Amino acid sequence: MVRLKEKKQTLLLRIVLAGWALVLLSGFDTSRHSIPVDEIFAGGPPRDGIPALSQPKFVAAKKAKNFMKDEDRVLGLARNGQVKAYPIKILNWHEIVNDTIGSQAVVVTFCPLCGTGMVFDGKINGKSLTFGVSGLLYQSDMLLYDRKTDSLWSQIKGEAVTGPLMGARLKLLSSTQTTWGEWKKKYPETLVLSQKTGHRRDYDRDPYMGYYTSSRLMFEVKNRNKNYHPKERVIGLELGGKFKAYPFSELAKAKQPVTDELNGVSLQVIFDKQSQTAVIRDQKGKELPSVVGFWFAWYAFHPDTEVFKVKQ
């Protein structure tokens, strides 16, 4: 019995040391950190093994017929008088697009393991930063790194978790996960990210085929909740330190639009079942920055979240 316990302790120590080694081999200084370093894992590809895009090319919607189908999912951004769509099938292979929209620097991010598409202001403390893919994960979610300081940033937390900028926050911008057909119908003048990325990839092949319907996670997370399928899509919102998730399966049963309240703020949640599109607006109709992703990912970072449920 004692030997078995010692073996378990030795195995645990090896796992911790292996985790440290992987982080160190990636070339990032983790001496300053706000998350447990032993919970940072290598996702597979090394640093920049998944190449972020920093000089993205776009085409008009009418010129995208040869590579875009109406049912393709996109992350849409309408800001500063300009409209752009970033196909998920391209983001699957690059995860980060350093871009500008209406002269504003933005960082478009997508974590295939968490299903989270999030767009951030590219300026931190008044200075523009560009980001790359670290190849590392925290709670199954991507860790970005900025190319100026090599600080690691958690996508879902929206903040630097190691390095010189530890504690700095990214400003989340409003974006929409929807279908290409719905997006171009709403914004016929939209531009769409071109497949001419400078990299040879088969963008019509989904490297995560089967993952989205499976209950299996590729990497374990600390907090789990079995009330919904791990890959159930939710739209999550944070207001004043309070969090709430709206599962798509609940929204599909609710009368539209859904009227709700979070932290004293009145909300409207609009859900289109056909295109699986959800948007949250305030009383004045302004779209609020939110996060669409998998239930397991939202809960992993926000275990104290409120959850919207249809009243029976």
Condensed to tens digits (0 to 9), the pLDDT of residues 67-125 reads 999 999 999 999 999 999 999 999 999 999 999 999 899 999 999 999 999 999 999 98
Please tell me whether residues 54 and 186 are part of one structural domain: yes
In a domain, 183, yes or no: yes
| Residues 184 and 73 both lie in one domain | yes
Q: Are residues 113 and 262 in the same domain?
A: no
Task: Please indicate, yes or no, whether residues 237 and 172 belong to a single structural domain of this protein.
Answer: no
Same domain, 137 and 38: yes
Domain that holds residue 255: 233-307
Say what the alpha-carbon torsion angle 292, 297, 301, 306 is, to the nearest 10 degrees. 60
192-211 pLDDT per residue, tens:
999 999 999 999 999 998 99
30 and 175 together in one domain: yes
Same domain? For 70 and 165 the reply is: yes
**Dist CA 54 CA 35 (whole Å):** 28
Q: Domain end: 193, 218, 246, which one?
A: 193
The predicted structure's pLDDT at residue 122: 96
Q: Classify residue 205: in a domain, yes or no.
A: no
Using DSSP, state whether 222 is helix, strand or coil: coil
Tell me the per-residue pLDDT of 5-22, one tens digit each, with 9 for 90 and over. 555 555 554 455 445 444
Q: Based on the domain organization, do 239 and 110 belong to the same domain?
A: no
**Residues 147 and 296 both lie in one domain:** no
What's the pLDDT tens digit per position in 252-261? 999 999 999 9
Which of 142, 164, 193 represents a domain boundary (last residue)? 193
Residue 86 · residue 108 · CB < 8 Å: yes
Cβ burial 37-63 (10 Å sphere, 16+ → b, else e) = beebbbbeebbeebbbbeebebbebee
Classify residue 219: in a domain, yes or no. Answer: no
Same domain, 46 and 189: yes
Q: End of a domain among 193, 220, 249?
A: 193
How many structural domains comprise the chain? Answer: 2
pLDDT tops 60 at residue 162: yes
Q: Is the pTM of this model over 0.85?
A: yes
pLDDT in tens, 270-299: 999 999 999 999 999 999 999 999 999 999
Is residue 146 located within the same domain as residue 96? yes
Question: What's the pLDDT at 311?
Answer: 85
